[in-house]
Structure 1
Amino acid sequence: MRREKILRIAYEKFSIKGYNTPLSEIAVAAGIKKQSIYNYFENKDALFFEMIKLEVDVYFHERLDEIRILKDGDPEEQLKTIFFSIIDYYSDISKLKFWRWLLLIDSKDLFERTQASIHYYESEISKELQSCVANLLQDEKKVEEYAIPIIQSFMTVLHGTLDGILLYQDVFDTEIYTENVWFMFWTGVKCIINQDSKE
């Protein structure tokens, strides 16, 4: 129980300050002495890695489950559902900040272990998205030419949208902003597909 409480508080503090969060601050919030943390975790990196891995595992398992459930549906709806599902997950700004802090971890070992875990899941999602885009294009030549650019654009638009939400959440309506971003992305994809099919 106490271990879970330490992990929860570590997540909350990391979302605010990132890797620079002192263990003493986590201990105070957990109602324990700093030294007591070492009864559960070898060191700061061990605590943070377990906390990070818990969030990373939950996030990617949810995304992969969503993609697989939608696998036999309309490819446009599948991509759109995944896009807005991810946006919805990050509607909790603390989650968005948490993931941004993962790029700024000072410990080289923790950073590399974290990125390895994320890259593994991202490769799994990429495989699922390639299958979705292949169903969308329905032609081997189109798949070869456009599948990777579409997936890369999808991920770039997604991350850019999240950065925009973080930077401009108090400036404009994020729901309208997100809808506009999706509309422009999908319009571009349709134009490329239609132009190719006419040749």
Structure 2
Amino acid sequence: MTNTSSATTSPVDQPARVFEHRRVLTLSRETFFAAARLVAAAVIDRDGPPTAVIGIAHGGLPLAEVIAATLSIPLGHVEARHNATDDLYEQATGTVDHSGEPLAARLAGRTLDGTVLLVDDICGTGATLDAILPDLAPHLASGAVVRTAVLCRNAGARYQPDLWVWTVDDWVHFPWETTLPDDQATEPLTLPHEVQP
């Protein structure tokens, strides 16, 4: 990310994500779509219809796209990179490269009002959400509020999003990621009846 609105954020006290190393938790496409609709319904139940959804690229974009389509609301995105690689069991560095430039370009000087939903695939530590939230401030109208939602929250995370579907204690493989090795032990995530907390 090389534009002028990029930044790197380095938290001082970075919690470690919990990985039991027993299996990789997997999410089927069918379960993902059901979870995305569950999140959309929970947002409406708790805060009323959001006015826009912003996905954190790349992992948060699929969730943002389904929510935007389900609720017929505008979609935007911001960019962030936390892990140094895509290797399994990669511990978070605490350094987040992030940019609000894609959102700024899409809004072209307009501001967002009402409830804006910021989404990602997983909250491993919370560092990515913490880094991105200040990027949204210049694009919010007076009185606008931001709510956060993720599919998974790692059991070691101190950060608590407003909504999440699963609390996880191992690595999670999402359906849009590269195929796992054939010999990798896995366990499918099953859809709960409601979101957390």
TM-score normalised to structure 1 length: 0.28
Question: Relative contact order (C-alpha < 8 Å, sep 6+): which is higher?
Answer: 2
Which structure carries more strand by proportion?
A: 2
- Larger Rg belongs to: 1
